[in-house]
Amino acid sequence: MAAKLTIDVRPLAPPDRHRVVVETYTRLSPGETFVLLNDHDLRPFYHQMDAEHTGEFTWRYLEQGPKTWRVKIGRAGN
**Residue 62 confidence (pLDDT):** 96
Q: Are 57 and 51 contacting, i.e. CB atoms less than 8 angstroms apart?
A: no
How is residue 53 annotated by DSSP?
S
Q: Is the model's pLDDT at 12 over the cut of 70?
A: yes
CATH value of 5-75 in 1.10.10.60, 3.40.190.10, 3.30.230.10, 3.30.110.40: 3.30.110.40
Strand ranges across the sheet with 5-8: 5-8, 33-38, 69-75, 57-64
| Mean pLDDT of the residues in the chain | 91
CB contact set of 28 (below 8 Å; sequence gap of 6+): 34, 74, 75
User: How do the domains of the chain map onto residue ranges?
Assistant: 5-75
